[in-house]
Structure 1
Amino acid sequence: MIENGQVTFQELVAAVRSQERIWVRIGAALKEKTWTVLAFDAVALAQPPDWEERTWKYPGVVFYAFVENGQNIADWLETGKVIFGNLEVALPDLPLDNPNATIQAYGLASRQSWDSYMPLTWPATSYTLPRSGGGSYVPTEMLIAEGAPSFLGFLDAATAFLGLATGVTGIISQLPSSSIRTQDRTGRISSVVIHPTKVEVHLEGETLSGLTLELAGQVPGPQVRLQDRARCQTVELPTPDGLGAQAWVVLKTAATCVDRKFLNWQYSSPDPGVEIIEEPVSMIEALVAAGEGPQIEFKRQAPETRDERKKVCRTLAAFANDHGGHLLFGVDDDGQIVGINTDHDGRTLKDTVTHWIADLIDPHLDFSLDILWHEHGLRVLHVEVQEGTSPPYGVDPANPHYYIRRGATTFPASADDVRTMVRTRLA
């Protein structure tokens, strides 16, 4: 859960003890004849990206990466000592005599950068330990040893071993605070695709059912309560007027944030995993701009009577008898987009239109239907007909009549036209 706050040192130890597996990376140096931890990164629940088990040993410096159970790491915190075989390494600055000392906790969204550590793939809580090493002590000697990579100093080695982010400079000026990060696999927003009229959100998690997905921002957006128990889900949040200012997507339960993604904040780029797509609106605009013609037809509204539907099917059949075409319901003859009345996703209207097209045209067309959103919440039903592979296509199977397209008008096909279609099919 993404929440900032404080816990006691005793509560942190208990939280660590409850973890089954923890991925640990440690950098230590010999300081005044005592081995002391200078860099400590522990991640629970899932393996961090780019983590690998390994050991680098240099004169007076060691780096270890290994998997340990929470019980042992909790013991290290309580004693202030890490044991590697015969090597005992001190964990300095821990409040061993004050179990009620406060430890700062920070809630992290999935793939959120924190300090210099590489982002994790799941939401997490990061507990910041007192800065290790009793201050700013860092060895500056060159690190060279058999079987280990060479570095100019401890900072360079720690950067490579812990996978620290260096920014544009390529270097870090000091070690990050030692941290313990516990991930939460309840749910995460794995990716977001921003379309002009909707936001498509991809979710993963072990307990998505019962959570709520919300599009938040300066203007409140839609919310969807998840009912499906599937571990991977896709949810579409409508934005008929486009994406509002300072928009973000939040996965939540009750009053708690499980995960979030910022989409269009004023002074920052979208969060990792956010993609912007502009194709749907450009498709409407391109078709309307082209105007009615041999392959494009506009209708103000969807037909309701059988005779009206037959007239529409004449155009659809004519498209199939030639090179295919597009029919837009919700557009006037002059190209003005007026929209259609339909349910939210247009499923009922699409099912109805699909049924009467299949009922009135023979043989069956190869066609598709989509609801395209335009600005101000206007919706257009787009019917795309592919060039037919079995012409001629007729309207009213009991007494079929055939049609062709000339310019922006549909005409009855002549006998010669029909014979040409048949020859084309048989060729």
Structure 2
Amino acid sequence: MANSGQTETTELVAMLNERAAVNVRLALVRDAEHWRLHHAQVTMDDGTPLAERAWRYSTAAFLELSLPGPTAAALLRGDDQDVHGIPVVPPGPPSSSASTSRLRSQEEWGRVTTSWPRTEWTISRDNSTPQPGRDLLVGDGPSFLNFDQALSAFLYQRPYESTADRADLWRIVLPQRAGWLEQITIGPDLLTAVVAGDDLDGAQLALSWAAGDQPQPVNGPGTYSFPLPHGLAHDSLLMLRREDQWLDWRHFPAPTYGRARDASVVWEQPGPELDILLANGEGTYLECKREVPEGDSRKKMLKTIAAFASRDGGTVLIGVRDDLQIVGLPEKPAVDKQELAVVGMIRDSVEPPPPYESRVIDHDGKKVLAIEVSGGGQMYAYREGQRQEFYVRVGPNTVPARHHEIAAGFQQAPTARAF
């Protein structure tokens, strides 16, 4: 199937009808007469143990349980159903089609990451769906300030973040466990992949790059290696496939700026990773600093971090000259103190606090501090005193944002809903 597209809702109803049981999570909102469905997550996963949960309050309920497939299908179709003793009313017939995404293992989408590939279908909530109140939730379950916080805790076991806004009425997940890449280790001259899966007959593993590829057959779960006589080539692709269908994959371009690092990929010696990061030079997503900046250089770095967060993210490398020569951080003060100094600068001068991760990379005995900033989905300001300034990245330069860019940034900021 394609990596993305549309699927008829009737096809999803038929798929659910064929299942003896599915795992569901339901968020319900109480109005004057009914318990109405606000959000539903369904996992079509046979035989997976489930710890059932039920949080009930006067105005909301959150349920996690196993349901017969036909019951879930009826809810998706728009039919009222009794669930855990609660008469659940869906908000009318759903959309005629669902958005479809096929995701590799370890790929985060909608705050969810799984160790195996999966297919997800989503159906958006329309205006007729009941909106939760803002009251305190106190009842048969943990207490919360409001519905949004309760839902985030119930679904993700994480604090609520407005930047994780979702508008899905339905989210249906089908695990794809035929085969996946459990762990990849990249050394200076060898790439090792641990392959897992339930159906690997006829599968092949191939490492591809611009100048060629290395295929090898997969004889079941296990460890497979690829020699790297010249190191890992820029823009390499590791593909687990069967004939013309992919089972799982990993891509190794210059690292994806500002996004969460893939825990399944281990750089045995971080030096090669840094070399790949520097391959494209300074630009829209990369800024280099010789040392922890002071004065005007400090202001420039903080403005750049605000600009990265306001758009698609980026990385600041401290310990690298403008000509991309890796010189490392000074020996004094200690590296951890230099890192804390930068973290303090960001905390004091960028509002709201931007999404980022700081880490130290060791390259041939030289320490480089990487500040990896995620795109935050809204505008972030550099603050000096009471004055707030907004910036964007244009190529290798950080420039003041124009009025229409600032307005667009605030318009795209997510509203305070639960998803």
Q: Same fold (TM over 0.5)?
A: yes
CA distance, structure 1, for counterparts of residue 198 and residue 15 of structure 2: 20
Matches within 5 A, 1:317-396: none
CA distance, structure 2, for counterparts of residue 122 and residue 18 of structure 1: 23
- Which of 150, 153, 163 pairs up with 2:146? 153
1:65 Cα shift? Answer: 0.4
CA distance, structure 1, for counterparts of residue 17 and residue 208 of structure 2: 36
CA distance, structure 2, for counterparts of residue 216 and residue 79 of structure 1: 47
- Is the contact between residue 191 and residue 201 of structure 1 (CA under 8 Å) also seen in structure 2? yes
Is 1:140 the counterpart of 2:131 in the alignment? no
1:120 Cα shift? Answer: 2.1
1:121 Cα shift? Answer: 2.4
Could you say if the C-alpha distance between residues 163 and 132 of structure 1 is closer, same or farther in structure 2, counting changes exceeding 3 Å? farther
- Is the contact between residue 122 and residue 184 of structure 1 (CA under 8 Å) also seen in structure 2? yes
Is 1:272 the counterpart of 2:263 in the alignment? yes
1:165 Cα shift? Answer: 5.6
- Which of 189, 192, 196 pairs up with 1:204? 196
- Is the contact between residue 22 and residue 45 of structure 1 (CA under 8 Å) also seen in structure 2? yes
Matches within 5 A, 1:200-239: 200-226=192-218, 228=219, 230=220, 232-239=221-228
- Which of 127, 130, 152 pairs up with 2:121? 127
Residue in 2 aligned with 1:104?
99
- Is the contact between residue 207 and residue 213 of structure 2 (CA under 8 Å) also seen in structure 1? yes
Residue in 2 aligned with 1:9?
9
- Is the contact between residue 111 and residue 122 of structure 1 (CA under 8 Å) also seen in structure 2? yes
CA distance, structure 2, for counterparts of residue 10 and residue 276 of structure 1: 45
Could you give the per-residue CA deviations for residues 52-92 of structure 1, whole angstroms, max 9, x where no partner exists?
31100100211100012323212322243332254221222
What is the DSSP-based 3-state SS (H/G/I as helix, E as strand, rest coil) of the residue aligned with 1:80?
coil
CA distance, structure 2, for counterparts of residue 111 and residue 47 of structure 1: 22
- Is the contact between residue 2 and residue 257 of structure 1 (CA under 8 Å) also seen in structure 2? no
CA distance, structure 2, for counterparts of residue 92 and residue 48 of structure 1: 29
What is the DSSP-based 3-state SS (H/G/I as helix, E as strand, rest coil) of the residue aligned with 2:184?
strand
Residue in 2 aligned with 1:72?
71
Matches within 5 A, 1:279-318: none
Letter of the structure 2 residue corresponding to residue 42 of structure 1:
V
Provide structure 1 residue ranges, at least 5 long, that are not aligned to the other structure. Answer: 282-427
Letter of the structure 2 residue corresponding to residue 120 of structure 1:
T
What is the DSSP-based 3-state SS (H/G/I as helix, E as strand, rest coil) of the residue aligned with 2:213?
coil
Structure 1 length normalisation: TM-score?
A: 0.57
Residue in 1 aligned with 2:244?
255
What is the DSSP-based 3-state SS (H/G/I as helix, E as strand, rest coil) of the residue aligned with 1:156?
helix
- Is the contact between residue 149 and residue 159 of structure 2 (CA under 8 Å) also seen in structure 1? no
Letter of the structure 2 residue corresponding to residue 161 of structure 1:
F
What is the DSSP-based 3-state SS (H/G/I as helix, E as strand, rest coil) of the residue aligned with 1:75?
helix
- Is the contact between residue 93 and residue 132 of structure 1 (CA under 8 Å) also seen in structure 2? no
Letter of the structure 2 residue corresponding to residue 7 of structure 1:
T
- Which of 214, 228, 231 pairs up with 1:242? 231
CA distance, structure 2, for counterparts of residue 79 and residue 174 of structure 1: 21
Could you say if the C-alpha distance between residues 103 and 173 of structure 1 is closer, same or farther in structure 2, counting changes exceeding 3 Å? closer
Aligned-pair identity in percent equals 22
- Is the contact between residue 21 and residue 68 of structure 1 (CA under 8 Å) also seen in structure 2? yes
What is the DSSP-based 3-state SS (H/G/I as helix, E as strand, rest coil) of the residue aligned with 1:159?
helix
CA distance, structure 1, for counterparts of residue 166 and residue 270 of structure 2: 46
Name whichever of 85-94 and 194-203 sits farther off.
Answer: 85-94
CA distance, structure 2, for counterparts of residue 211 and residue 63 of structure 1: 41
1:280 Cα shift? Answer: 13
Matches within 5 A, 1:412-423: none
Could you say if the C-alpha distance between residues 68 and 137 of structure 1 is closer, same or farther in structure 2, counting changes exceeding 3 Å? same
CA distance, structure 1, for counterparts of residue 163 and residue 136 of structure 2: 16
Could you give the per-residue CA deviations for residues 71-128 of structure 1, whole angstroms, max 9, x where no partner exists?
32123222433322542212225338xxxx2221100111211113x21222111010
CA distance, structure 1, for counterparts of residue 165 and residue 229 of structure 2: 48
- Is the contact between residue 132 and residue 178 of structure 1 (CA under 8 Å) also seen in structure 2? no
Which structure has the larger Rg? 1
- Is the contact between residue 53 and residue 65 of structure 2 (CA under 8 Å) also seen in structure 1? yes
Residue in 1 aligned with 2:110?
115
The alignment's C-alpha RMSD in Å is 3.0
- Which of 155, 179, 184 pairs up with 1:187? 179
Structure 2 length normalisation: TM-score?
A: 0.58
1:139 Cα shift? Answer: 1.8
Residue in 1 aligned with 2:291?
none
- Is the contact between residue 38 and residue 130 of structure 2 (CA under 8 Å) also seen in structure 1? no
What is the DSSP-based 3-state SS (H/G/I as helix, E as strand, rest coil) of the residue aligned with 2:183?
strand
- Is the contact between residue 79 and residue 90 of structure 2 (CA under 8 Å) also seen in structure 1? yes
Could you say if the C-alpha distance between residues 166 and 87 of structure 1 is closer, same or farther in structure 2, counting changes exceeding 3 Å? closer
CA distance, structure 1, for counterparts of residue 253 and residue 109 of structure 2: 20
CA distance, structure 2, for counterparts of residue 43 and residue 265 of structure 1: 34
